């Protein structure tokens, strides 16, 4: 079978298991996924509650899944739509690398540099004890920041490029938080897909 990716970059960070595959999806195929998902996904903007105040979430999202299980975070509960043919296809190729059978995909659309994703860990109970999170990036590259929850000097920045895969597993979500910060640079849109198992 053809290799879908040419290298794995493993981050040597304590209490974590994080790998980055820069060219997981070939450029022209990644371009096609981007345009197709941008056009066909029913993007929504939910309100989030932060310290008792309600704000529109600074990005658009969508949830797909095959087991009907809802996913809740930041006071939002999302109900999955059935996987499209292309998401199903993408899920299959990621499962080969992640060695996990995913049930659910959360999609994020960052419209410009003002869109972001605040510090958090993907540690909701419905994701299980040690979640495997497989994250695909399409379109505009953005920085992904990681910080250790207890040892504040431990941090890492990863540039998430078009067609890349970032894999987080093991105890990562217990010890590390991540974010996509805003940027003042004039930038274009990015789509992120995170495949997860929702129990």
Ligand X SMILES: O=C(O)CCC(=O)C(=O)O
Binding site for ligand X (CB under 6 A): 106, 108, 117, 122, 135, 144, 160, 178, 180, 192, 194
- Two tokens at 191? 């789509």
CA–CA dist 21, 5 (Å, integer):
7
CB of 2 to ligand X, least distance (A): 26
144 binds, among ligand X, Fe ion, none (CB under 5 to 8 A by kind): ligand X
CB of 135 to ligand X, least distance (A): 5
180 binds, among ligand X, Fe ion, none (CB under 5 to 8 A by kind): ligand X
Q: Which of 34, 93, 13, 63 has the alpha carbon at shortest distance from 198?
A: 63
91 binds, among ligand X, Fe ion, none (CB under 5 to 8 A by kind): none
Q: Which is nearer to ligand X, 83 or 108 (CB)?
A: 108
Is residue 80 within 8 A of residue 68, CB to CB? The reply is yes
CB of 136 to Fe ion, least distance (A): 13
Q: Which is nearer to ligand X, 1 or 177 (CB)?
A: 177
Q: Can you say whether the dihedral through the CA atoms of 152, 150, 177, 101 is positive or negative?
A: positive
CB of 142 to ligand X, least distance (A): 7
Q: Which residues have CB under 8 Å from 157's CB, separation 6+?
A: 143, 144, 145, 146
């Amino acid at each position: 079978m053809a290799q879908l990716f040419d290298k794995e970059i493993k981050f040597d960070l304590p209490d974590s298991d994080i790998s980055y595959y820069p060219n997981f999806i070939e450029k022209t195929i990644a371009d096609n996924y981007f345009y197709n998902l941008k056009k066909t996904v029913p993007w929504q903007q939910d309100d989030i509650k932060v310290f008792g105040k309600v704000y529109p979430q600074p990005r658009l999202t969508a949830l797909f899944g095959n087991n009907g299980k809802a996913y809740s975070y930041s006071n939002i509960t999302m109900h999955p739509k059935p996987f499209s043919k292309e998401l199903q296809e993408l899920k299959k190729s990621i499962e080969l690398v992640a060695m996990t059978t995913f049930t659910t995909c959360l999609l994020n659309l960052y419209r410009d540099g003002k869109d972001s994703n605040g510090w958090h860990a993907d540690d909701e109970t419905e994701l299980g004890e040690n979640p495997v999170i497989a994250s695909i990036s399409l379109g505009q590259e953005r920085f992904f920041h990681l910080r250790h929850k207890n040892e504040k000097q431990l941090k890492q920045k990863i540039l998430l490029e078009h067609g890349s895969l970032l894999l987080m597993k093991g105890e990562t979500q217990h010890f590390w938080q991540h974010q996509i910060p805003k940027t003042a640079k004039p930038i274009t849109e990015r789509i992120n897909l995170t495949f997860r198992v929702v129990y």
